[in-house]
Amino acid sequence: MNIHSILTLPSIMMAMLAHLCFFSMMAPTTMAFQKSLEPSSLPTSLMWLSRQAQKLPATYSYCLTHHHLATEAFTAGCMAGLGDYLAQRRQQPAAKSGEAVKSYNVRRSLSFIFKGLGEGVMWSLWYHWADRWVATVLKQAMMVIPQLQPATPLFVVIRTFLSLLIDTLVACPIIYALWDIPLPALLSGMPLRQIPHQVASKLRPMICASAQVWIPANLLIYNIPLRYRLIVASMTDVVWQSIVSSIVTVTATTTATEPTAKIGSKEQDLESATNALL
């Protein structure tokens, strides 16, 4: 059996699900789990698995509370891998008669999972910092404008606007330029000397595409409790990672084999990929 037929996305996702189960074992259910694995209690074991499936949301909430950074990074990694899988399936052309179907690129999805793990840590830290910064600004504003109170609609509008503003103008350019664009390119084999040009040519289109996807989502994200922001963001991240995968990996693969002078001609392909996925 070919190794690529084994290392499909389902097996990757199952491995990551096993990692989540490790977190759940930190919850106070270890003794029940060990008892259910006794040979004489197979039906009990199945019933236990059914109960644990029903408790999965509570277990996930427990992991977020006690191991939030690892859980958020794990979630972002899963969403990035799933997004790349969907992008690969969308990019795969319909096989004509007599042509072989393009195989699933496991290495590409693994690189996106790795990218997602780091991205999850970055965005988790960002959300906590941004929340504190916006709270500080609003506290000072309330001293100047007495009518600005937390229960008023104006307060919610200003808080959301400030959060969206710094997200779009500060976080996105930094994370895209230092992580999202260069990492997949390097992992796909692009020479290091081409990375600055890759970032310069793709940063602006990625920010524009990000605005189309994330501004509507962030209207919700910045108005829910802090601990759930990355989780809701990760759901939108499946769509976004599909767009990023279509943009970055195709471009990185092409530029690794073409002269540098042709790199700038790929922006039209980037826009087409974005429009197709939105």
Give the torsion sign (CA, 154, 157, 159, 162): negative
Q: What is the pLDDT of residue 263?
A: 40
Distance CA 217, CA 229 (A): 10
* Total-model pTM: 0.70
Q: What is the pLDDT of residue 159?
A: 92
- Give me the mean pLDDT over the 130-134 stretch: 94
Domain chopping of the chain, boundaries: 3-26+67-277
Q: What is the pLDDT of residue 271?
A: 54
* Whether pLDDT at 5 is above 50: no
Distance CA 124, CA 113 (A): 16
* Whether pLDDT at 222 is above 70: yes
For residues 137 and 168, the answer to whether their CB atoms sit within 8 Å is no
Average pLDDT of the chain, as a whole number: 76
Only one residue has tokens 């499909």, namely: 8
Q: What is the pLDDT of residue 274?
A: 52
- C-alpha distances (whole Å) from 272 to each of 36, 197, 205, 276 are 53, 20, 11, 6
* Whether pLDDT at 258 is above 70: no
**Predicted confidence (pLDDT) per residue in 14-60, tens digit:** 444 444 444 444 444 444 444 444 444 446 767 777 777 777 778 88
- Helix (H) or strand (E) holding 132, with range, is helix 106-144
Q: For residue 223, what are its two tokens?
A: 């108005």
**Predicted confidence (pLDDT) per residue in 138-191, tens digit:** 999 999 988 888 888 889 999 999 999 999 999 999 999 999 999 988 988 889
At position 178, the amino acid (one-letter code) is L
- Give me the mean pLDDT over the 218-224 stretch: 87
